[in-house]
Amino acid sequence: MRLFLDICTGLGLSASAGIRPFLPALVSGVLAGFNVGVDYEGTDFAFLEKAWFLGLMLALMAVALVAMRRLGAAAVESGPLGAALSGIAIAVGGLLFAGVLADHGYAWWPGLLAGIAVAAFAQLAVRSLFTRVRARLDRHAQDSLVVFADGTSAVGSALAILVPPVSIVLVGFLAWLLAGGRRRAGEKYAGLRILR
């Protein structure tokens, strides 16, 4: 049962990090510092709850938010900064999942691999959704999607730690979003083929 709950927590944390990486790392680190639901101390991932790592996450989040405010979220996410954010999200997802498994003495490397895969999957789902939604919004409304993504990632990570089975719902919802986006894209291209 403990392993199942840890896998659920890892799934939720890595999926949340795939949506937006910074707040899941902060939520996880703060809760781990108070030994609430997870505790990285005594593992190879103890740095996940250290002040320097949490400060780094805050600083990177501030840089990303300033860049998005100046350039627009769509421009940032489609450029080199977006690639860097994607890399950070995937790395954080892998580290959080691995840390959760290491917390209770399980081998951490399957969590690293699974966390990377889940974070990348979450990115695909969210990127697909945001691309569709941004096309219908003005720039100010587009930028507010960042707040929605940050809020979702923070709540998702807190619930993953406090109520681990909720993570299955989060991952299922992301799968539904991705499938819906692919279906809509297929319908769009089918319509274009009919016009020819």
- pLDDT (tens digit, 9 = 90+) per residue, 98-144? 999 999 999 999 999 999 999 999 999 998 888 777 777 776 776 67
Model confidence over 48-80: pLDDT tens digits? Answer: 999 999 999 999 999 998 988 888 777 777 778
85 to each of 61, 93, 95, 104, 189, how far by Cα in Å? 10, 12, 15, 30, 30
Task: State the pLDDT at residue 137.
Answer: 75
All residues at 6 or more sequence positions from 51 whose CB lies less than 8 Å from its CB, including other chains: none
| 31-35, 64-68, 73-77, 190-194: least confident range | 190-194
Name the residue among 89, 6, 16, 92 with its Cα closest to residue 48. Answer: 92
Task: State the pLDDT at residue 196.
Answer: 52
- pLDDT class of 45 with cuts at 50, 70, 90: very high
Of the two residues 74 and 155, the one the predictor is more confident about is 155
167 to each of 21, 141, 163, how far by Cα in Å? 16, 28, 8
- pTM of the predicted structure, to 2 decimals: 0.90
Percentage of the chain exceeding pLDDT 70: 90
Rounded Cα–Cα distance for residues 100 and 111 (Å): 8
DSSP label at 164? T
Helices 22-33 & 51-71 angle (0-180, nearest 10): 160
Task: State the pLDDT at residue 136.
Answer: 78
Name the residue among 4, 26, 3, 57 with its Cα closest to residue 156. Answer: 26
